[in-house]
Amino acid sequence: MINYTIRRFVGFAFTLILLSVFTFALTRLVPGTPWGNKAQIPLSDEQEAIFRARYGMDKPVTTQYLVWLRNAVMFDFGRPFTAPELSVMQLIFKSLPYSALVGGLAAIFSLMFGMLLGAVAAAKQNTWVDAAITSYSVFIGTIPSFVMAFLFVFIFAQKLRWLPAGGWGLDHHLIMPVLAYALPGTGGIARWTRQCLVEAMSSDYVRTAYAKGLRQAAVVSVHVLRNASIPLITSFLPIFPSMMTGSIFIEAVFGLPGLGKYFAQSASNRDYPLVLGITMFWAFLIMTTYFLTDILYGVIDPRVRITDEK
C-alpha cells in the first residue's frame, strides 16, 4: 500500500510540474503587453519601462519561470485586471464559497438523482422503465446548462413567478441555479450507474452466490453493490471538484456572486492573470482529487494494492 501511494505521488508531482510549465507557457503567449496601445489607459515609454521592471519582464525566460513558479507555489498569481484592488487569489477565495456551494449542492443532487435512476434502470432491466430512463439520460445531457438555466428562468421566474430570476440568497434563490446545473449531468451518471450495476449483476460470481444458497437480498447487498461501488465511487468523486469549478456559466446567467461574474467580464477585458490564475488553481484542485481518488481506489480494491506488494 505504501509502495502504491508513493508511486502515485511521484506521478502526481510530475504532473503538477507539467501543469506549471504549461501554464507558464500560456503566460508567455500574451501578445505585446497588457497595457499597449489597445489598453484603456495608454502609457508613456518610461511608465512602461517601470511596469516592465516591476513585473519582472526584463529578465530571461527561465528566471521568469522560476519566479513565476515560486509565486505559483505560494498561490500568488498576481492581480486581475478586472479588479486590481485584489490579488487573483483573494478574488478566487472571495468568490469560491459561492461557486463551491452551488457546485457542491449540484453535485450532490446530480449524484443522488442520477444514481437512483441508474439503480432503478438496472433493477428493471429491459423493461419499459429501463428504456424510459435511458431515453431521459440521452436527452438530458444534450441540453447545455446555460440553456437549461434560461428555460428555468423563463418558466419559473417569468411565467409562473414562483422563483426569483436572479440574485443571491441561501434560500429559494439557490433552487434554480442548482437544479439547472445539476440536471444535465444526471443522464451520464444514471447510465454509468446502470452499467456498473448490470455488469456486477450478470457476472459469474453473482451466479455462484446464488448457487451457494444466498437469497436475493444478500446477493445484491454483499456481492452486487459492494463490487459495483468500486468503479462508481472512483468515477464519481472527481465530479465534486469539477462541478465546483465549472459553475461559471450558471453564475453568469443567474448573476451569482461567484467567479462567473468576473469570468464573463474577463473575456472582454482580456484579463489574463485572472484566467490563468483560475486555470492553475482549478487544475490543481482537480488533480489533487484524482490523486486522492487513486489512493482511495487502492484502499477499497484489493486487486490493486495486493499485486503491487507482491
Partner 1 sequence: MDHLLSVKNLEVAFFTKDGKVSAVNSISYTVDEGDTLGIVGESGCGKSVGAMALLRLLPTPPAKIMGGEVVLQGQDLLKLPQSQMHTIRGSKIAMIFQDPMTSLNPVMTVGKQISEAVRVNLGLGARECRDRTIEVLSNVGIPRAVDRLGDYPHQFSGGMRQRVMIAMAISCRPKLLIADEPTTSLDVTIQAQIVDLVRRLQQDLGMAVIWITHDLGVIARIAKRLNVMYAGKIIEYGPIKSVFAKPQHPYTMGLLGSLPRIDSNSDQELQFIEGAPPDMVRLPKGCSFAPRCKFRSERCLVEEPQLVGVGDDHMAACIRLPEIHAQ
Partner 2 sequence: MVVGVDKLGLSDTTENVEYATFWAGAWRRFRRNKLAVYGLGYVFAIFLIAIFAGLLAPYPYDKINPRFALEPPSLLHPFGTDALGRDLLSRIMFGARPMLMVGLLVNIASLVIGVPIGLVAGYAGGVLDWVVTRLIEMFSALPWYLVALFLVMVLNPSIENLIIALTVTAWVGPARLVRGMSFSVREQDYVEAARALGIPTFRIVVMHILPQIAPLLLWSFAAGIPASAMAEAGMSFLGMGVRPPEPSWGQMLAESGQYWQYWPHMFAFPAGMIVITVLAFQGMADGLREAMDVNTNV
**Closest by CA position to 12, among listed 305, 287, 277, 209:** 287
- The answer to whether 268 contacts partner 2 (rule: CB under 8 A) is yes
Q: What angle do CA 289, 233, 20 make, to 5 degrees?
A: 15
Which of 62-70, 115-123, 171-179, 297-305 is the region at the interface with partner 1 (rule: CB under 8 A)? 297-305
Instruction: Report the alpha-carbon distance of residue 101 to residue 98 in Å, rounded.
Output: 5
- The answer to whether 19 contacts partner 2 (rule: CB under 8 A) is yes
Non-local CB neighbours of 298 within 8 Å, separated by 6+ positions:
1, 4, 5, 8, 304, 305, 308
- Residue 124 beta carbon to partner 1: minimum distance, rounded to whole angstroms: 11
- The answer to whether 36 contacts partner 2 (rule: CB under 8 A) is no
- The answer to whether 232 contacts partner 2 (rule: CB under 8 A) is no
- The answer to whether 212 contacts partner 1 (rule: CB under 8 A) is yes
- The answer to whether 272 contacts partner 2 (rule: CB under 8 A) is yes
DSSP code, position 218: H
- The answer to whether 6 contacts partner 2 (rule: CB under 8 A) is no
CB count, 10 Å around CB of 141?
A: 17
**Closest by CA position to 107, among listed 298, 263, 239, 299:** 239
Instruction: Report the alpha-carbon distance of residue 108 to residue 236 in Å, rounded.
Output: 10
- The answer to whether 282 contacts partner 2 (rule: CB under 8 A) is yes
Query: Cα 162 to the chain's mean position, in Å?
Result: 30
Which of 59-67, 68-76, 97-105, 247-255 is the region at the interface with partner 2 (rule: CB under 8 A)? 247-255
Grid cell for residue 40 = 484603456
- Residue 279 beta carbon to partner 2: minimum distance, rounded to whole angstroms: 4
Which of 18-26, 57-65, 160-168, 199-207 is the region at the interface with partner 1 (rule: CB under 8 A)? 199-207
- The answer to whether 296 contacts partner 2 (rule: CB under 8 A) is no
Question: Are the beta carbons of 140 and 228 closer than 8 angstroms?
Answer: no
- The answer to whether 245 contacts partner 2 (rule: CB under 8 A) is yes
Q: How many helices (H) and strands (E) does the chain have?
A: 15, 0
- The answer to whether 188 contacts partner 2 (rule: CB under 8 A) is no
- The answer to whether 149 contacts partner 2 (rule: CB under 8 A) is no
**Closest by CA position to 78, among listed 303, 280, 304, 288:** 280
Residue type, 228: A
Which of 191-199, 238-246, 264-272, 296-304 is the region at the interface with partner 1 (rule: CB under 8 A)? 296-304
278 binds, among partner 2, partner 1, none (CB under 5 to 8 A by kind): partner 2
Grid cell for residue 156 = 419559473
Q: Where does this chain bind partner 2 (CB under 8 A)?
A: 11, 14-15, 18-19, 22, 26, 29-31, 135, 138-139, 141-144, 146-147, 150-151, 154, 158, 242, 245-246, 248-249, 252, 263-264, 266-268, 270, 272, 275-276, 278-279, 282-284, 286-287, 290
